[in-house]
Every structure is written in structure tokens, then in C-alpha cells.
């Protein structure tokens, strides 16, 4: 899920280029076609090879574009909640995409197309909603918890929101600026 997040955030990045977006698309295609297979059957060498190739390609993309809001949430989740980085990203991914879809719905639709969703007849907004729903479905299939499932309490939300806003390196290339109230609102959705 971390590699998928790398590819998606690179695609949506303000620093994205035609080259980095091409890399991100290939990465998303490889990861999305293989992640469920690799999760269900860890001995499937083809699925695992495609996952690692997708991860490598995503790394090439995000090394040139930076990341975004999902990683801005994920880093504090790992630091304050003792969550594995990939799980932290998986929790935040649908909500970060939802947040960014308000300003780059066309790019979110393109991400969905790379995921293999049939979106050609959908408006950008409809497509964005389908992408968000599909990412939530994937997280559910992979056993990704909600924040409340891992012991995060309401009292911790403000601390997590403040810590997220301090993740300037991740937020600088995010297509939509994040403020404290929006961070709180997103965290409550992840709860």
C-alpha cells in the first residue's frame, strides 16, 4: 500500500511531469493488478515480482515529484500510534485522494483508469468517487484497520492534526493546501 501511495501521490503532485506521470501510471497498473493476488498467495512469484517492479517504478516517480497529504498523515500515525508505514498510508489513502479530488478530479480519474476502473463515461467527480470507493474496498480486503481499531482516541486527534501540518516536506507538493480544520475533519473520517 505504501508503493501504491507513492505512485498515486506522485501522479497528483504539483511537481508531476509527463515522464513522472507515465512512471506512476505503469506503477499503479502493476500494483493494482497484483496486490490482491500477492496478499492472498505470498508464494505467487509473478505477482510478487510485479509488486516489486511497481514499487521500484513508483520510487523513480516520487523521487522526482515528492509525495503529498497521505504521507503527511502517515508519518505521524507511525510515530504516535506505532503503526507500520504501509498500514498508515493505507488508512489515509482514500481520504487524501478524496481531499485532493476537489482540485484535481481529472487526475484522480486518470489514477482510476490506471487502476483498471471503467470510467470513460463518468464525469471527473463521479470517477473520483468511484476511485475513493475502490480504495476503501481494497483496504478492507487487505484487513487495513481504522484509527479507532488501533487504539487512537478522540483525545489524540488534535495532536495528530498538528503533527500532520508539520510534515512540510510531504505537503509542499500536494495539490491542495491543508489547514488544521481540514486535517481534523479528515482524521475524524479515518476514525
pLDDT tens digits for range 37-85: 999 999 999 999 999 999 999 999 999 999 999 999 999 999 999 999 9
Q: What is the pLDDT of residues 96-134, one digit of tens each?
A: 999 999 999 999 999 999 999 999 999 999 999 999 999
**Burial per residue of 32-45, b for 16 or more beta-carbon CB atoms within 10 angstroms, e otherwise:** bebbeebbeeeeee
The full set of domain ranges for the chain reads 2-190
Q: What is the pLDDT of residues 130-181, one digit of tens each?
A: 999 999 999 999 999 999 999 899 999 999 999 999 999 999 999 999 999 9
What's the CATH architecture for 2-190?
Up-down Bundle (1.20)
Residue 169: which residues within 8 A CB-CB, separation 6 or more?
66, 67
Could you give the CA distance from residue 54 to residue 58 in angstroms, rounded to a whole number? 6
What's the pTM?
0.96
Amino acid at each position: 500500500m505504501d508503493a501504491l501511495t507513492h505512485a498515486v501521490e506522485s501522479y497528483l503532485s504539483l511537481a508531476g511531469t509527463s515522464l513522472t506521470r507515465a512512471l506512476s501510471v505503469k506503477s499503479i497498473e502493476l500494483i493494482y493488478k497484483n496486490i490482491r493476488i500477492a496478499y492472498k498467495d505470498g508464494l505467487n512469484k509473478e505477482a510478487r515480482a510485479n509488486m516489486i517492479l511497481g514499487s521500484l517504478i513508483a520510487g523513480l516517480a516520487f523521487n522526482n515529484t515528492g509525495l503529498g497529504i497521505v504521507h503527511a498523515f502517515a508519518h505521524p500515525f507511525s510515530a504516535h500510534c506505532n503503526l507500520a508505514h504501509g498500514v498508515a498510508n493505507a488508512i489515509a489513502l482514500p481520504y487524501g485522494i478524496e481531499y485532493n479530488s476537489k482540485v484535481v478530479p481529472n487526475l484522480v480519474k486518470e489514477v482510476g483508469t490506471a487502476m483498471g476502473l471503467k470510467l470513460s463515461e463518468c464525469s471527473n467527480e463521479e470517477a473520483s468517487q468511484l476511485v475513493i470507493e475502490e480504495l476503501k474496498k481494497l483496504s478492507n480486503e487487505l484487513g487495513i484497520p481504522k484509527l479507532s481499531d488501533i487504539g487512537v482516541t478522540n483525545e489524540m486527534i488534535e495532536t495528530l492534526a498538528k503533527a500532520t501540518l508539520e510534515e512540510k516536506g510531504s505537503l509542499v507538493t500536494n495539490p491542495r493546501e491543508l489547514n488544521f480544520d481540514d486535517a481534523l475533519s479528515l482524521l475524524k473520517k479515518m476514525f
